[in-house]
Structure 1
Amino acid sequence: MEQKKKKKIGLVPKLIIGIIVGILIGSTCPEPVIQVLVTLSGLFSAFLSFVIPFIIIGFVTAGIADLATGAGKLLGITTAIAYGSTLIAGSIAFVVASVLFPKFITSEVAAQIGDPSAGQASAIFSIPLEPMIDVTAAIVFAFMMGLGISALRNKGKGEVLYKFFNEFQDIVTATLSTVIIPLLPLYIAGTFANITFAGQVWSILGVFWKVFVTVIPLHLIYLVCQFSFAGAIGGKNPFTMLRNQIPGYLTAIGTQSSAATIPVNVGCAEKNGVTKQIREFVVPLCATIHLSGSMISITCFTTAVLMMNNMPHGINVLLPYIAMLGVAMVAAPGAPGGAIMSALPFLPMVGIPSEGGLASLMIALYLTQDSFGTACNVSGDNAIAVIVDKINSKMLSKGDKTAA
């Protein structure tokens, strides 16, 4: 008799369970119990900070090195469009957040939340685990190596380094999938237990469910804008293209993976009339470099956290942050929760600590909607494919030998 396969609980339900358990523990257990959970969360946080520079080196280096094998001029065009789309998405999210969030994140709400660390239980002990390399150095090193390997591969060299960094990326991915992601519910439970113990949890959740409700419609609105723009350039009906994109969107929601959605997304591009060579080039490439949905989510959550804590949140604060994330998240979809993990080191740019209660709140909130962000990312890839296909056809008509 065949054994019944055990159904695995997904990450989002685990996070929700972690939040509920954390609230229950924080509201019913004595301080020593809270301290034990906070200690475990603190140890996890230290390890996460240690791993983050390696995430950047592993994914950014390999991602940039892979870009060198593209189709010349079209590679640059596609990358520029993807980066531009990501920046526009973040900018729109900032504008919407700046207009809507003050309606429910008032000065009274911010005063209720107050200092996020006030009244919280302290850890029993901590381990001084410092990162081997700081984040800025990791970014510079990743770009230097990625661009260097790209140049070498174009000369028929650099394969040893290319394989090394791809295998290093595999190690980082394994660390994320076997250690970081499975332990996230414990980390989240510790955070929510502590903020519940301090009496802040309901004020914070009262804000974030409204942010969450804002983010999902914003994803859909941005998709309509992307396909409308692509339709205007490519001479196609945007609503027909959106209808054709539904299988890719739903697949991304179900798998929470840009990579797993690529075959379905290529099929969607074919229905939209994108030529074979362009759809097979643009869709896999944009699956790693185009993160408009992720950018919308992270920008909204970051802006909300800044407003909740009465911190500066103007365009002069957020724009450099958005611009940096657009680069740092290259190849982030290759890792579970890669976008938010890549964003953590840059939170200090806007004044938010990259570890601790606020950071863990952002992780929890981002991952609970990650499937929708991924769906927005991959669906937008096909809007870019339509644009690049049109550009390529014009290049061919002009006899450009660098066209695909």
Structure 2
Amino acid sequence: MKEIYNKWIEISLIKRVIVGILLGILLVTVAPDKASGIAILGDIFVGALKAVAPVLVFFLVVAAVIQHKEGQKSNMKSIVSLYLLGTLLASIVAVVASFLFPVELILQAGESAIAPPENIYGVLKSLLMNLVDNPLNAILRGNYIGILFWSILFGIFLKSGKESTKQAIVDISEAILKVVKTVIEFAPFGIMGLIFNSMRTNGFSSLLIYGKLILLLLGAMAFVTFIVNPVIAWVMIRQNPFPLIMKCLKYSGMTAFFTRSSAANIPVNMSLCEELGLDKDVYSVSIPLGATINMGGAAITISIFALSAAHTLGIQIDIFSAILLSVLSAISACGASGVAGGSLLLIPLACSLFGIPNEIAMQVVGVGFIIGVIQDSCETALNSSTDVLFTSLAEYYNWRKEGRAILI
């Protein structure tokens, strides 16, 4: 078995993933009923990643803090600034795109039973309450804001602990990393199950009626991915940014597209950061933080849906309201992971800016759930891949200033 496993991991992961995708499509086309058991592979894969990710983040952050030396350089300020800038620019792109290509919705979706936040105070309150969540509960629920808060506190106070205690925590974090790497090696089977289940359950025929809205969403996300982010990257590293961007999309964006979970993609992103030669003490904190506040895709979703609702109702939007929506969407997107239902349930908050009643806003949310099979996948791929991109840019910027070669 060990020999078979070694031969398996010798094959490029991306090649194995592509084979998994093709097999998933083939099975759902040829035998959608007989091969229904394949779907469980996707559930197992995502479940395993979600289960181990909170524990991994907790121990990695604690280990990073206790090993941090006074005066040691950290790129966290630059990374957080890039996260916030990227989210705001994504929101602005979505607002401009909605004015250039206005879309009207068919508001026939049923109302959702899930209650969205009523105002920005609700979003901020949710974030703060997640911050002080019981640490064990935060790990069990995958509340990464709470995990980061408590792990940093534990790390700070453990810095004065015994060396044997510190080493034990480092050893545990290394062991969990090895477990995660083993799970990732079986990603092709998981992705095969995910794509099989997605195509068998949802199909694509029901999405055709919302084609224009989907094109607007994907067009805005593509513009951010291939225009905005490359400009930011070039300013930071002053060399062709596309090899780095394509690598982030290839290894992080692809898995995020199928898992549709930033949390589940945290181990994948950490593995990619290690491959890029980044500082483990930094990315062990910045990657889970990015899964929480780096939400460019969510900002695009919130802005486009809110403006589509306004266009449908014939509401005229002035330039001041458009600017306010860009800022509100960016702030709300950063809190999306702290709100049940993610970005879609923050749409009513943005709609309230234009006086759109909640019952209509919830129908817009219903439309979001209908096209979620595409919208959520692409949104997660953008969010997760830029976590690695911005983390690497902050470190490569320092390399450039030091005269070190950036080899991607």
Summarize the Cα distance change of 1:262–1:132 in structure 2 as closer, same or farther, 3 Å threshold: closer
Q: CA deviation at 1:329?
A: 3.2
Summarize the Cα distance change of 1:258–1:93 in structure 2 as closer, same or farther, 3 Å threshold: same
Q: Secondary structure at the match of 1:85?
A: helix
Aligned to 1:237: 240
Task: Quote the RMSD (CA, aligned, Å).
Answer: 4.4
Summarize the Cα distance change of 1:219–1:170 in structure 2 as closer, same or farther, 3 Å threshold: closer
Aligned to 1:158: none
More off after superposition, 130-139 vs 248-257: 130-139
Q: Confirm whether residue 330 of structure 1 aligns to residue 334 of structure 2.
A: yes
Instruction: Choose from 385, 389, 394 the match for 1:388.
Output: 394
Do the aligned residues in 2 keep the contact of 1:244 with 1:272 (CA within 8 Å)? no
> CA offsets per residue over residues 36-93 of structure 1, 9 Å max, x none?
xxxxxxxxxxxxxxxxxxxxxxxxxxxxxx9xx9899744443232122111101011
Aligned to 1:6: 37
Q: Confirm whether residue 314 of structure 1 aligns to residue 318 of structure 2.
A: yes
Do the aligned residues in 1 keep the contact of 2:123 with 2:335 (CA within 8 Å)? no
Aligned to 1:220: 222
> CA offsets per residue over residues 219-267 of structure 1, 9 Å max, x none?
2231123134224412443121123220211101110011111222223
Do the aligned residues in 1 keep the contact of 2:87 with 2:296 (CA within 8 Å)? yes
Summarize the Cα distance change of 1:391–1:145 in structure 2 as closer, same or farther, 3 Å threshold: farther
Aligned to 1:260: 264
More off after superposition, 289-298 vs 344-353: 344-353
Q: Confirm whether residue 80 of structure 1 aligns to residue 86 of structure 2.
A: no
Report the AA paired with residue 88 of structure 1. L
Q: CA deviation at 1:135?
A: 4.1
Q: Secondary structure at the match of 2:81?
A: helix
Q: CA deviation at 1:7?
A: 4.7
Q: CA deviation at 1:271?
A: 4.1
Do the aligned residues in 2 keep the contact of 1:252 with 1:261 (CA within 8 Å)? yes
Report the AA paired with residue 378 of structure 2. F
> CA offsets per residue over residues 96-141 of structure 1, 9 Å max, x none?
221122xx75xxxx9xx7xx69xx99x9xxxxx9989954553454
Distance in 1, matches of 2:374 and 2:335, equals 21
Q: CA deviation at 1:313?
A: 2.8
Q: CA deviation at 1:389?
A: 1.1
Q: Confirm whether residue 283 of structure 1 aligns to residue 287 of structure 2.
A: yes
Summarize the Cα distance change of 1:365–1:315 in structure 2 as closer, same or farther, 3 Å threshold: farther
Aligned to 2:308: 304
Aligned to 2:346: 342
> CA offsets per residue over residues 148-167 of structure 1, 9 Å max, x none?
x5xxxxxxxxxxx5438737
Q: CA deviation at 1:326?
A: 2.3
Aligned to 2:14: none
Unaligned runs of at least 5 residues, structure 2:
1-33, 43-60, 144-205, 404-408
> CA offsets per residue over residues 328-347 of structure 1, 9 Å max, x none?
33353477741212343342
Aligned to 1:138: 122
Distance in 2, matches of 1:387 and 1:332, equals 24
Q: CA deviation at 1:373?
A: 0.7
Do the aligned residues in 2 keep the contact of 1:278 with 1:389 (CA within 8 Å)? no
Summarize the Cα distance change of 1:249–1:395 in structure 2 as closer, same or farther, 3 Å threshold: same
Summarize the Cα distance change of 1:327–1:218 in structure 2 as closer, same or farther, 3 Å threshold: closer
Do the aligned residues in 1 keep the contact of 2:126 with 2:338 (CA within 8 Å)? no
Do the aligned residues in 2 keep the contact of 1:352 with 1:358 (CA within 8 Å)? no
Aligned to 2:30: none
Aligned to 1:90: 91
Q: Matches of residues 96-245 of structure 1 in structure 2 within 5 Å? A: 96-101=97-102, 135=119, 137-139=121-123, 141-142=125-126, 162-163=134-135, 166=138, 208-224=210-226, 225-245=228-248
Distance in 2, matches of 1:300 and 1:130, equals 21
Do the aligned residues in 2 keep the contact of 1:318 with 1:350 (CA within 8 Å)? no
Summarize the Cα distance change of 1:236–1:327 in structure 2 as closer, same or farther, 3 Å threshold: same
Report the AA paired with residue 85 of structure 1. G
Do the aligned residues in 1 keep the contact of 2:292 with 2:337 (CA within 8 Å)? yes
Percent of aligned pairs with the same amino acid: 20
Aligned to 2:366: 360
